[in-house]
């Protein structure tokens, strides 16, 4: 029992010592500080100095899944010249941006398609709504014939060209600029 009281007392002393050595929450950290800037976790059983403990980031990347609309929706989307939002209506949220990208997707014709085909691309936007560089294909269903893969790639590029430049507000444009976005396209139309 005495060992338990001694452990609790040492743990309390270590906590007080650690709390005194960190920079206050409102202070600005500098590389010239002799104290750590991050909250630390220490143990009375460790002989080494305290090391900052960070959890792995959750949800730091943007992911979007776009499923093919039914055949009637594809025909209506193919007839319209532009699915991009009008200039008066600026995109202010991520969900509005994702919805604008979903509206632009027109899958390849049924003759060139494959049931259940999936392809993913990775891209980034400028703050003006233009795409930085060329979208990079990161996944294509295995054992897909090259001509089918090319048809889906052309459809994805056409959809992105149809949408861009996206009309971002200044706030969303600044927040989204340069951040990678992974978009997965799924063709789940029923084949005749």
pTM: predicted TM-score of the whole model, two decimal places: 0.61
Helices marked H in the chain: 2-21, 71-79, 94-104, 146-163, 170-176
45 and 137 inside one domain? no
Residue 117 lies in a domain: yes
Using the 3D structure, point to which of 14, 29, 52 is the last residue of a domain. 52
69 and 45 inside one domain? no
131 and 41 inside one domain? no
Query: What is the per-residue pLDDT across 158-174, written as a single tens digit (0 to 9) for each?
Result: 999 999 899 999 999 99
126 and 154 inside one domain? yes
Question: Using CA atoms, how far apart are residues 100 and 164, in angstroms rounded to an integer?
Answer: 10
Q: How buried is 137 (Cβ within 10 angstroms: 0-12 exposed, 13-18 middle, 19+ buried)?
A: middle
75 and 152 inside one domain? yes
Query: What is the per-residue pLDDT across 173-189, written as a single tens digit (0 to 9) for each?
Result: 998 888 999 999 999 88
Question: Using CA atoms, how far apart are residues 132 and 113, in angstroms rounded to an integer?
Answer: 28
Widest distance between CA atoms in the chain:
81
Counted domains in the chain: 2
Give me the pLDDT at residue 146, please: 92
Question: Using CA atoms, how far apart are residues 139 and 125, in angstroms rounded to an integer?
Answer: 20
87 and 147 inside one domain? yes
List CB contacts of 78: < 8 A, sequence separation 6 or more: 106
156 and 73 inside one domain? yes
105 and 178 inside one domain? yes
Which domain, by its residues, includes 123?
62-186
Residue 192 lies in a domain: no
Give me the pLDDT at residue 46, please: 62
pLDDT-derived band of residue 120, with 50, 70 and 90 as boundaries? very high
């Amino acid at each position: 029992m005495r060992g338990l009281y001694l452990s609790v007392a040492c743990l309390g002393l270590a906590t007080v010592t650690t709390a005194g050595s960190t920079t206050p929450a409102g202070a600005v950290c500098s590389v010239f500080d002799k104290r750590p800037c991050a909250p630390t976790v220490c143990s009375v059983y460790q002989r080494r100095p305290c090391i900052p403990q960070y959890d792995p980031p959750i949800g730091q990347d943007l992911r979007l899944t776009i499923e093919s609309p039914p055949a009637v929706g594809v025909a209506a989307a193919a007839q319209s010249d532009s699915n991009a939002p009008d200039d008066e209506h600026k995109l202010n949220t991520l969900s509005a941006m994702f919805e604008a990208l979903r509206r632009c997707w027109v899958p390849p014709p049924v003759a060139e398609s494959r049931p259940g085909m999936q392809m993913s691309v990775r891209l980034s936007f400028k703050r003006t709504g233009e795409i930085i560089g060329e979208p990079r294909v990161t996944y294509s269903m295995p054992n897909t014939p090259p001509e089918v893969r090319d048809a889906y790639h052309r459809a994805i590029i056409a959809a992105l060209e149809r949408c861009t430049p996206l009309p971002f507000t200044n706030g969303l444009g600044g927040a989204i600029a340069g951040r990678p976005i992974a978009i997965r396209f799924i063709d789940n139309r029923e084949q005749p």
